[in-house]
Structure 1
Amino acid sequence: MIYREATAQIVPNFWEEAPVERAIVTDTLWFMDQTSAVQVGFTGLNYAKPPYNKFSVIRSRFDHWLAKKAEEAGAHLMTSCLVKDLIFEKEGLTGKKVAGVVLDDGSKLYSDAVILAEGAMADLAAKAGLRREISADSLKIYVKEILALPREIIEARFNLEKDEGVIIGMVGFPTSGAVGKGGIWTNRDSISLVVGGYLNQIVNKGLNLYQLLNRLKKHPMIRRLIEGAKTVQYMSHLIPKGGYKSLPQFYDNGILITGDAGMLVSGRHGTDIAMLSGKYAAETALQAKARGDFSKKTLSSYENKLKNTFFMRAIESNKEARDYYREYPDSDFVFSKTLNEVAYEFFKEGLKTQDEKLNEIIEEVKEIQSLQKNIRDIYSGLQHWRVF
């Protein structure tokens, strides 16, 4: 997803020229079991017209366009190369500063400031001493498959008109007991399907993401949506999920870190946070250039900018979520399964009143665990459970 308001701060009215796929009008969450799903969602047709809300995109197309915009503004883009190391120079008697980068062919690029946007593993941020080594329980890994399908079939199956799009988040069944989620969304003439979860749980439970993806495709509700589609692309991605307690130091002499490298992810918000943190880092570098001072003291204004953002407030307010998922590693699976069993009973027609059915359902839920534990679990879940 590309979020309109954040992206427009980088390129105003970007949707008029950018290769966006569809304007998302329906946002739905499915709590899934083997043959069912309890669905919670919203459709807002006003999102199909300016100023819009968010768009589905194919990143290979969108990122190419965005890189071209940077080049038009004066950036020099270098591809097919890898930054292997940082260049350090002495600063004062005992200090040091980052003065550039070393590429994989041994060549060096010198700079007054280096802005790292290297993704979740952030090896260079660790080398700079800004971030601790990341643990497997602080990462989520997702795989994605893009399936080609004629646009008229997509629109018929998802109840859409031209250029309208749908995103469906899924918890429970897709990750086979691990904390994570699946998702499906519509592009112009293809469908994107993803599944993934916490890296440590994927490993410890012996799960295979490729198998999880194929298992999800065979679910009767998903199979009907993608029937006849042809696979055109696979990809995978690591997402940092360490939360507030794992945030790094964002700056030092001559260096700033942004986006996933800075563990700046909140719920489903990642691309917009990456863009905005990059914008604030660039503004900080410009201010430092105007002063002729790229010291840690000057670059500290970057962290002040971050602290005043909606996403940093969101990350801080949800700082206990990681501990919650450690205590309740099967929360998504149990919650989804229970919801579906309750729904099956509630909607099953028979010779009982609704009140009688409700009383029976309550008694069945009590048998799963004590009422006191149910209350504690529900209270903790309301405080910390997140999917969006």
Structure 2
Amino acid sequence: MPEHYDAVVVGAGPAGAATALTLARNGISVCLLERGQYPGAKNIFGGTIYRQPTELLVPAFWEEAPLERPVVKDELWLMEEDSAINVGFTGLKFGRAPYNKFCVHRSQFDRWLADQAVRAGARLYCNTTARDLVLKGKQVIGVEVDGGERILADVTVLAEGVMAMLTRKAGLRSQIPPHAVTLYVREVLALPAEKIEDRFNLPAGLGATIGLLGWPTGGAIGKAGIWTMKDTVAIIVGGFLDDLIKKGLSPRWLLDRFKQHPIMKKLLAGAEPIEYQAHLIPKGGYKGIPKLYRDGLLVAGDAAVMISGRRGSDLAMLTGKYAAETIIQAKARGDFTAKMLGAYARKLNDTFFMKDIKAGKDALSYYEHYSDSDFLISRLANQSAYEFFTEGLITEKEKKERIVRMFVNYQKLGKTVKDLYAGIKNWGVF
């Protein structure tokens, strides 16, 4: 490796690749380090990327990127043991360019995005783990990798993911507590394309994403999800780590249980499991966002706790882009001090997603006090639906009165309203 770069980026996920791509396009020498065999080898997510943020990096990316299906159907299910309330939207316009969002596999998409950075001039080194920061006084001047080799740079970008070992070593972040991190398991099942389209009522080549609340998480605050790929279906289940531990819930057990639900059994009949993964996601919200810069150093992506509801990978790419733009300005001035690099945090504060993160800053504390609120809303909604659709020997007025009594007797009406409000701020269709 050359002795010195303008920038070294740790982690070749969406945040790191976006940083390296933007820098390389602007003539900045950049080294991109990936601990996996290839970018995406160790990365998982539900399965969705969004068109508008991604095309800021690669215009018309859908013409060449490894995409599975354009998403035209978004649904949210409140699921119970033998029922489900479905709320959704099908927009066939989203099935035509420029599209809206896509189902993808991270192992393929991350590799492609990192390759865009390499084509632009970035140097990519895989199977390379950054073990420590190299300091000159208080200034970060690079990283030390396996074997003790040092890679020096004017500025270092840490896009190292949720565990953020170097971010913690830099004194910018502490370890995320269990109540501020979620644990999800994901399984990919092979299923012929025509069966996917038939069972999910999809036009040929188009896709769906489904978010599920209630029964699938066994009473823990969390979610389940379904993504339709070309010839596979990806499913996830998980929740807040402390809640899973407290309630003795294994995500693997929840996943297997989810697959046995009568509705899921029909959707997945004949599907063959081909991949299983687990992943932690930082969910500390606005209060959990660490300081994002110091002399010679910036933090992006999951390491920076940049998650807003269902959106994570696209925000990672945007943070990488903004980090790169800050570095370009810093290089023009020859100034890589914290004062100069602090422009990165100011850029983020003006973004749409930071405004959303701030707006939902109290949701986490609410769930700490009422960890079964999602579960109760789903159960109450399904019981009410059963009552509403039962054709009995009572008047419509009596039926409505019975449903109202059900709501009132279940818990205080004010608590139900608060649960619903917190849920609206936190829920997202995957």
Asked if the contact 1:146–1:233 (Cα under 8 Å) also holds between the matched residues in 2, the reply is yes
Q: Deviations over 1:176-216 (max 9, x none)?
A: 01000000010011000001100111111111111111000
Letter in 2 for 1:26: K
Preserved CA contact (<8 Å) 1:168 1:185: yes
* C-alpha contact 2:373 2:419 (8 A) present in aligned 1: no
The residue type equivalent to 1:238 in the other structure is L
Separation of aligned partners in 1, 2:417 and 2:408: 13
1:297 to 331, 339, 342: 339
| Conservation of the 8 A alpha-carbon contact between 2:366 and 2:422 | no
1:78 alignment partner, one of 103, 117, 125: 125
Which of these residues, 43, 48, 51, is aligned with residue 4 of structure 1?
Answer: 51
CA shift at 1:146, angstroms?
Answer: 0.5
Shift of 1:29: 0.3
Per-residue deviation, residues 341-370 of structure 1 (Å, max 9, x unmatched) = 11011101111222211101211222223x
Q: Displacement, 1:132?
A: 2.3
Q: Partner amino acid for 1:87?
A: V
Structure 2 equivalent of residue 93 of structure 1: none
Match of 2:257 in 1: 215
Among 36, 45, 64, the alignment partner of 1:17 is 64
Question: How far is the alpha carbon of 1:381 from its aligned partner?
Answer: 3.4
Indicate conservation of the 8 Å contact 1:115/1:256, yes or no.
yes
Distance 2:332 2:298 in 1: 17
TM-score scaled by length of structure 2: 0.87
Q: Partner residue of 2:201?
A: 159
2:421 partner amino acid = L
Shift of 1:265: 0.2
Q: Distance in 2 between matches of 1:236 and 1:376?
A: 34
Q: How far is 1:28 from its partner?
A: 0.3
Name the counterpart of 1:48.
95
Change (3 A) 1:347 1:384: closer
Give the structure 2 partner of residue 57 of structure 1.
104
- Equivalent position of 2:8 in the other structure: none
Q: Partner amino acid for 1:375?
A: G
Alignment of 1:257-272 (within 5 A): 257-272=299-314
Is residue 374–residue 419 contact of structure 2 (8 Å, CA) maintained in 1? no
Q: CA RMSD in A?
A: 1.1
**Matches of 1:364 and 1:155, distance apart in 2:** 38
Identity rate, percent = 49
Code of the aligned partner of 1:378? V
**Counterparts of residues 275-354 of structure 1 (less than 5 Å):** 275-354=317-396
Q: 1:120 Cα shift?
A: 1.1
What do the CA deviations read for 1:20-72 (whole angstroms, capped 9, x no partner)?
00000010000010010011111111000011100000111111111111110
Q: Structure 2: how far apart are the matches of 1:292 and 1:365?
A: 64
| Offset of residue 384 of structure 1 | 5.7
Instruction: Check whether the contact 2:377–2:420 (CA below 8 A) recurs between aligned residues.
Output: no
Gaps in structure 2 of 5+ consecutive residues: 1-47
Q: Is the 8 A contact 1:320 1:384 kept in 2?
A: no
SS in 1 for 2:126: coil
CA distance in 1, matches of 2:146, 2:376: 47
* Secondary structure class of the residue paired with 2:147: coil
CA distance in 2, matches of 1:225, 1:148: 12
Describe the SS at the equivalent of 2:187.
strand
List gaps (5 residues or longer) in structure 1: 91-95
Shift of 1:383: 4.9
Match of 2:413 among 355, 369, 374: 374
| Partner Cα separation in structure 1 for residue 416 and residue 56 of structure 2 | 41
User: SS of 2:317's equivalent?
Assistant: helix
Q: Which amino acid aligns with 1:57?
A: V
SS at match of 1:10: coil
Provide the secondary structure at the position in 1 that maps to 2:210. Answer: strand
- Aligned partner of 2:279 among 209, 213, 237: 237
Partner residue of 1:387?
Answer: 427
The residue correspondences of 1:103-252 to structure 2 (distance < 5 A) are 103-252=145-294
Please list the CA deviations of residues 132-188 of structure 1 after superposition, one character each: whole Å capped at 9, or x if unmatched: 221011100111000011101111111111221001100011110100000001001
Cα distance in 1 for residues equivalent to 2:396 and 2:136:
74
